[in-house]
Structure 1
Amino acid sequence: MKTLIVTGGSLDISWAKDFVRTINAEYIIAADSGLKYIDELGLVPDMILGDYDSVEDGLLDKYKSIDIKTYPKEKDYTDTHIAIINALKAGASVIYILGATGTRMDHTFTNICNMKAALDSGVPCFICDSHNKIYLINDKMGEVKVSKTGQYGDYVSFVPLSEETIISLAGFKYVLDDYILHQGLSICQSNEIKENVAVINIKKGLVIVFETKD
């Protein structure tokens, strides 16, 4: 089940309208103030969740017939993390998250890390905005292929989340063969796909993949 989560970071509504039409989600979750974006996009959520501390008065009432889950403001999980967990429970086969990036870099990075819940469940999960497509790859996935025509932007960057990562890259401008990538190195920044299909293989560890455009 193709699932869309909309949360309360920054979102280019004009871009998002085209994006949601493209993915044609079968299940939609509004995470807290992401409900505002859901409303602006003219979508009808299947689930609304959060503590609603940043939801405009009256907006929640508009959707009172929807499955609404209320959580305390002080809790151990962010609203976006809870949304990912609920998406997995609902049977998501792939998850797209909008509104997960923005001015609060702590929230952005946490949202990226929270995608590991989906990764561990074997469910592809992507954070997308008008300039970035972000996802996680680990050493259990084998070869991951990215087509030049299907890539999100012009550049592909890899940032290790584990202390030591073994990475191979083929079909890129800068290829690697079982390269030991340590945290803090920038050698995997702003690579480019040169062949019709590029192949990423993580032999050890966990990396964030950024498909980006200026």
Structure 2
Amino acid sequence: MSLYCLPGLELTFSADLSPLEIVLVAGGRSPDKAWLRTATACRSVWAVDGGLEACLNAAVEPTRLIGDGDSAQAASWERIRARGIPIDRYPVEKDLTDLQIALKTLGEEKRGGALVTGCWGGRFDHLFSNVFSLVGSWDWGARVRCMGDEREFLVCLEGEETLSLAWKTPPTAISLLALCPVCRDVSIGGVKWPLSKASLALCRPYAISNEPVAEELNLSIGEGRLGLYLTWESPKKEGC
């Protein structure tokens, strides 16, 4: 059993996971400054290229900088170099994204568990890549389970696992997303529309926009790779 404590969330996994020791800050939408400072407290911080700007703006000093330097300001890179912080510099033209390189490095170095933030916003193809890079990190040995910020959060489960998730502020919507062709024996409680031993297909995502009815939810899966998505964004009303 493993417990991950994050700003406003407490996650208890049945799986024996590595302690949550590292935060990867990517170059997407910057998390709230206070949220980022809380999430990174007592944890190592890896800035992934453009994520360096989010770190510096929140007065969070990274312990490592990874990337090709095409999105963070040159002055910010030099500032990190002057402080003697380790930098892993890669060419702009490469097969893997900066985030994928950081995730692969986690696996190769057999580091602890990690949270990915700075991963939302922007183009759909970037978000798609971020989500499935998270899942792909398991094959590299990184086993990263969480990506999110104060507005959106994704938790991943695999195989015969269970998760209990408690929150301080209830999310406005809860969705289950198959991250493989089929997830089987999926059950969820603590929501308006519970499921019991259901099958969810990647090509038919119907288990979305659920609502919380308790202070926590319980989720289990028998087979597959499953994403639990939470959002605290207010739903937008369609105009006339």
Partner of 1:172: 191
Partner of 1:133: 153
Count matched residues: 210
TM-fit CA distance, 1:125: 2.9
TM-fit CA distance, 1:7: 1.2
Residue 170 of structure 1 aligns to which amino acid in structure 2?
Answer: G
Q: Which of 36, 46, 59 is equivalent to 2:63? A: 46
CA contact (8 A) 1:92 1:123 kept: no
Partner of 1:57: 74
TM-fit CA distance, 1:188: 0.8
Which runs of 5 or more structure 1 residues have no equivalent in the other structure?
none
TM-fit CA distance, 1:144: 1.3
- Which moved further from structure 2: 112-121 or 154-163? 112-121
C-alpha change, 1:128 and 1:46, in structure 2 (3 Å) is same
Residue 110 of structure 1 aligns to which amino acid in structure 2?
Answer: S
- Does residue 110 in structure 1 map to residue 110 in structure 2? no
Partner of 2:114: 95
Partner of 1:74: 93
In 2, the alpha carbon distance for the partners of 1:25 and 1:91 equals 19
Q: Which of 140, 143, 160 is equivalent to 2:178? A: 160
TM-fit CA distance, 1:94: 2.8
Residue 127 of structure 1 aligns to which amino acid in structure 2?
Answer: M
TM-score calculated relative to the size of structure 1: 0.86
Partner of 2:3: none
C-alpha change, 1:154 and 1:94, in structure 2 (3 Å) is farther
Which runs of 5 or more structure 2 residues have no equivalent in the other structure?
1-19, 234-240
C-alpha change, 1:206 and 1:125, in structure 2 (3 Å) is closer
Identity %: 21
| 1:21-51: CA deviation from partner (whole Å, max 9, x where unpaired) | 2551421101111111111111221111111
C-alpha change, 1:151 and 1:176, in structure 2 (3 Å) is farther
| 1:136-178: CA deviation from partner (whole Å, max 9, x where unpaired) | 11214x221122x357623210111222211112232212121
Task: Report the aligned-residue RMSD.
Answer: 2.2
- Which moved further from structure 2: 188-197 or 106-115? 188-197
